Amino acid sequence: MPAIQDIKVAVDAVVFGYDAKQLSVLLIKRGVEPFKDSWALPGGLVMDNESLETAVTRELKEETGVQIDYLEQLYTFGKPGRDPRNRVVSVSYFGLVRPNHFKIQAATDAKEVQWFPVKELPDLAFDHGTILNMAKERLKAKLQYQPIGFDLLNKEFPFSDLENLYTTILDHKIDRRNFRKKILSFEIVEETDKIHQKGSGRPAKLFKFNNKKYNQLLNEGFHFEIKIV
């Protein structure tokens, strides 16, 4: 028996931003029905001549003005009724950026665009709350087995910035002494001869991530793992 289908394919982007000890997510206010004037994740339908990656990059750029080099595929959401207009299957993606690296600007179906702290989110349209929650859990897990956090720091940083990043994203206190010992044992973070002075506080040495060393270790079978209990 031939399959009877009338299914559309969409993409949605969960873009997390980290800055000033705060994790945020990029949302748009919809300018059209359904859910007009509700906040939602950037995204839309995939055109016939597009790959999924091209579609999510285009939708993100069109609706928010943000262009990211790398978005990782998260999950496919296809529950019937998730979109009141049609049967829509959405392939979701997520990425992590520094908000001050972008100038956000709403366009096309987006009426507004704004960064929201993840702890102060509005109600979201469609099943975007479910998508976002899954993305948060994936981000927390990935931070503990891949050093993605270094992309969010300055090229040279006080070690406390790295500690704050992990504490903020994982939403969990860490044992600072053990964390420092573990990170430095990997030999992918180097101490520089520079000093960071902030206000009247104690001067702190600056560190930097050695990406070349990290890739070399990966080729040798290195396994990055940070367990936060």
- Residue 116 · residue 122 · CB < 8 Å: yes
Q: What is the CA radius of gyration of the chain?
A: 20
Catalytic residue selected from 33, 63, 112, 220: 112
Q: How far apart are CA 54 and CA 61, in angstroms?
A: 11
- Residue 116 · residue 110 · CB < 8 Å: no
Strand 87-97 and strand 7-19: the pairing is: parallel
**What six digits make up the tokens of 134?**
């899954």
Active site includes 112? yes
Nearest Cα neighbor of 97 from 23, 188, 189, 183 is 23
Which residues are the active-site residues? 112
